[in-house]
Structure 1
Amino acid sequence: MFGKAGDSLRTFSLLKGMPVYEKNGDLLGEVCDIVIQESGQVSHLLLQCKGLIGNKHTVPIKNIISFGHDGILLESKELLTKYKGKPSEYTMHHDKPLMKKHTLSQIGDQLGLLDDVYFLEELGTIIGYELTDGFFSDITQGKRVIRTPHPPKIGKDAIIVSVTKLRGGKPYDEMSKLPK
């Protein structure tokens, strides 16, 4: 079912592959990535559109009617624009990818590799980063989620985040889980 935008947090991994429909019910494509601004905002969804060529298009987060569990609803296909990466934009997998990029604290501590982001649907504000130390570490210790009130500093080789609270991997963690 479709829900009202802004009801919850989303992660990129939950959005990837999700179908996007026009409000009349026509399938426009599926989410293949997110566009992240230098300010740490998710500004657009990147869609793999249907058709023989399968062009990639973007749609601004602010123009989405609703994020549902089984699909995303968009007012009109006229809101789609052909994707052209910009120097101030990043994605998880495509142009200037952030996935598996080293993540450091503001004091230079290695926190892990970026694996996912948590963001508010309606605003696109990233409020958490899911980090990994690798497959075996994830199995034995779990992934960590870092909450941050400030935008990241995204460099060529690493992401610097302001760490407020850390969750994961330790039985004495006090931070509650982020909503799914």
Structure 2
Amino acid sequence: MGIFLRTFRDIKGLPVISEQTGKKYGTIQDLCFAENGTILGILVQFTIRHLFLSIHDVQHVGKDAVMIKEGSRFQHIKELTTKPIFFATHRGVQGKELLSSSGSSLGTIHDVYLMEELGKIIGYEATDGFFADITEGRKIIRTNQPIAVSDDAILIKCLNE
């Protein structure tokens, strides 16, 4: 069995459900990660607000739902000691320029690739725009190196550099 990859697009909107009781808490709204690409947790959409859930509380990520431990602690973002980087919300990285450590523009970030069970970001899906997507397709850029995140761009070391 090989490594099973998921994209953020695959998990966004999935219900977050207690593994023991079946209670639905909300749906996945965003992915929160550290600068080195390690997933810290998920942002869960409740009825009127978003709350952070640590990745350690996630038991399984299925095709149709994310199963969590009963009694998992949801936190307000302001309570977090480590400030996460968000993918789509809170001035997230989606839509930012992706640069290689050699200074080449790799496109604009469209999605991220995650290892099985959401352990770490292992790649990015980049776009050069609508027409390039149609004629050439989107690029998949693999990385296992830490990233640098700024307000303007994401800097990565590609595996083929």
Q: Normalising by structure 2, report the TM-score.
A: 0.89
SS at match of 2:94: coil
CA positional deviation for 1:36: 1.4
Aligned equivalent of 1:12, options 8, 19, 28: 8
Q: Tell me the equivalent position of 1:36.
A: 33
Contact 1:35 1:89 in 2 (8 A): yes
Aligned residues: CA RMSD: 2.0
Distance 1:100 1:86, change over 3 A: farther
The gaps in structure 1 that reach 5 residues or longer are 1-6, 167-180
Equivalents in 2 of 1:93, 1:129: separation in Å?
13
Contact 1:55 1:82 in 2 (8 A): no
Equivalents in 2 of 1:74, 1:121: separation in Å?
16
Q: Normalising by structure 1, report the TM-score.
A: 0.80
Equivalents in 2 of 1:158, 1:107: separation in Å?
14
Equivalents in 2 of 1:108, 1:102: separation in Å?
12
Q: Tell me the equivalent position of 1:172.
A: none
Equivalents in 2 of 1:35, 1:149: separation in Å?
17
SS at match of 1:57: strand
Tell me the matched-pair count: 157
Percent identical: 34
Q: Tell me the equivalent position of 1:59.
A: 53
Alignment of 1:1-180 (within 5 A): 8-23=4-19, 24-50=21-47, 54-84=48-78, 88-122=83-117, 124-165=119-160
List per-residue Cα deviations over 1:34-79 (Å, max 9, x = no partner): 01111211210100013xxx22111111211111100011112442
